[in-house]
């Protein structure tokens, strides 16, 4: 796990060094900088050292909570901490919505396979998968949040902390949640539909039917459980990515000051320390959730459990 994180950070560092315009000293110094200025900035930031040493120093600073931005000197760890409540609010709410509706939509679609409701769901799901989040978010703000001049059903972006006003928090989060969830609902629904249709032909489902169980019970206890296993993997990784600040577009579109928003700002400024922090933050969630997915697997499928 730690090796994975080290490797991720190293690759991020490499990419940053390689890209054009990557030398932060040049940009900080400004247009009228003298060569001496640049040298001194380089030295202050530690950029004149071997790049492996630079990388290692940055990691050390990050994990001791001392890493600061190249541009405004703000503490990276503190900035990420500030963004966590926003990002978690977005991720958890959207996660619940997309998992819940994904299962619902996939199940309905599979049970009525070939009928009108299945076709409608399939069409809507494909549209949902194909919609760019940025565009959808902007449309939602334009039409539903008062920008077109219509009565505003929802607030136009922004974030209210849960601890300050739970009702306003919920109200402000609805549009971002839905915007983020729509993509996943369509995708999960499609995957679950095909899983269910595969599972229905399993011998043990026939056995369940031969026992005289009701079709509802067969679906819930025997078919869904087996069909959900692959969905759990997907969910673990997708959810981890969003928790780790991966919902950059949604956060930017709705001006939610979360980790993804911070990442977007830092990318524009080519500010390496925050990027390093955000990337490792995200990678950590991926690694942790991969482990959680494995644990969930053992729960869902006893054959995987250790004897």
Q: What is the 3-state secondary structure (H, E, C) of 214-251?
A: CHHHHHHHHHHHHHHHHHHHHHHHHHHHHHHHHCHHHH
Is-contact 184 237, C-beta < 8 A? no
Are residues 102 and 238 in contact, defined by beta-carbon separation less than 8 angstroms? no
Q: Which is nearer to other proteins, 67 or 200 (CB)?
A: 200
Among 209, 255, 267, 294, interactor with other proteins by CB under 8 A: 209
Nearer to other proteins, 48 or 301 (CB): 301
Q: Give yes or no for residue 119 binding other proteins (CB under 8 A).
A: no
| Helical residues (DSSP H) of 158-214, grouped into ranges | 166-199, 203-210
**Candidate ranges 20-28, 65-73, 95-103, 197-205; the one touching other proteins (CB under 8 A):** 197-205
From 151, 203, 268, 306, residue interacting with other proteins (rule: CB under 8 A) = 203
Q: Is 220 in the site for other proteins (CB under 8 A)?
A: no
* Vertex 74 angle, CA 63 and 272, to 5°: 65
Q: How far apart are CA 135 and CA 179, in angstroms?
A: 10
Which member of 15, 66, 204, 220 binds other proteins (CB under 8 A)? Answer: 204
| Cβ nearer to other proteins, comparing 21 with 212 | 212
Q: How many CB atoms lie within 10 A of CB 276?
A: 23
**CA distances (Å), origin 179, targets 59, 135, 154, 174, 208:** 35, 10, 13, 9, 39
Is the Cβ of residue 167 or residue 307 nearer to other proteins in the bound state? 307
Site for other proteins in 259-288 (CB under 8 A): none
- Give min distance, CB of 207 to other proteins, in A: 5
Residue 231 touching other proteins (CB under 8 A): no
Pick the closest to residue 89 from 261, 264, 243 (CA basis). 243
- One of 60, 81, 217, 220 touching other proteins (CB under 8 A): 217
Residues binding other proteins: number (CB under 8 A): 22
Among 30, 151, 302, 306, binds other proteins (CB under 8 A): 302
Smallest distance, Å, CB 105 to other proteins? 23
| Closest distance of CB 67 from other proteins, Å | 46
Q: Does position 212 bind other proteins by CB under 8 A?
A: yes
CB of 306 to other proteins, least distance (A): 13
Structure tokens at 75: 């503490």
Does position 117 interact with other proteins (CB under 8 A)? The reply is: no
Residue 43 is a binding residue for other proteins (CB under 8 A) = no
Is 294 a binder of other proteins (CB under 8 A)?
no
Number of H helices, E strands in the chain: 14, 0
- In the numeric block, which tokens belong to residue 244? 């780790």
Rule CB under 8 A: is residue 208 a binding residue for other proteins?
yes
Instruction: Please identify which residue in 72, 119, 255, 301 interacts with other proteins, judged by CB under 8 A.
Output: 301
Contact yes or no for 25/42 (Cβ under 8 A)? yes
Length of the chain: 307
- Is residue 42 a contact residue for other proteins (CB under 8 A)? no
Instruction: Report the distance separating Cα 145 and Cα 178, nearest Å.
Output: 14
């Amino acid at each position: 796990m730690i090796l994975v994180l080290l490797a991720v950070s190293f690759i991020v560092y490499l990419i940053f060094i390689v890209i054009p315009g990557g030398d932060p000293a040049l940009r900080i110094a400004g247009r009228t900088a003298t060569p001496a200025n640049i040298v001194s900035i380089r030295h202050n930031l530690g950029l004149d050292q071997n790049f492996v040493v630079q990388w290692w120093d940055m990691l050390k600073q990050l994990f001791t909570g001392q890493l600061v931005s190249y541009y405004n000197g703000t503490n990276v760890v503190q900035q990420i901490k500030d963004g966590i409540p926003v990002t978690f609010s977005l991720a958890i709410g959207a996660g619940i919505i997309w998992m819940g509706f994904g299962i619902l939509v996939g199940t309905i679609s599979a049970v009525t396979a070939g009928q009108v409701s299945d076709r409608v769901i399939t069409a809507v799901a494909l549209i949902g998968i194909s919609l760019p989040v940025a565009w959808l978010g902007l449309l939602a703000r334009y039409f539903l949040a008062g920008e077109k001049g219509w009565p505003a059903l929802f607030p136009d972006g922004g974030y209210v902390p849960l601890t300050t006003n739970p009702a306003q928090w919920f109200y402000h989060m609805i549009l971002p949640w839905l915007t983020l969830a729509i993509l996943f609902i369509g995708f999960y629904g499609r995957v679950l539909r095909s899983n269910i249709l595969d599972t229905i032909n399993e011998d043990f489902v026939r056995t369940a039917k031969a026992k005289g169980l009701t079709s509802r019970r067969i679906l819930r206890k025997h078919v869904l459980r087996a069909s959900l296993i692959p969905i759990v993997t997907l969910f673990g990784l997708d959810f981890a990515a969003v928790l780790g600040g991966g919902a950059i577009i949604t956060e930017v579109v709705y001006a939610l000051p979360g980790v993804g928003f911070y990442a977007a700002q830092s990318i524009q400024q080519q500010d390496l320390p925050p990027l390093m922090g955000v990337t490792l933050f995200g990678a950590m969630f991926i690694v942790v959730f991969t482990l959680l997915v494995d644990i969930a697997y053992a729960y869902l499928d006893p054959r995987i459990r250790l004897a």
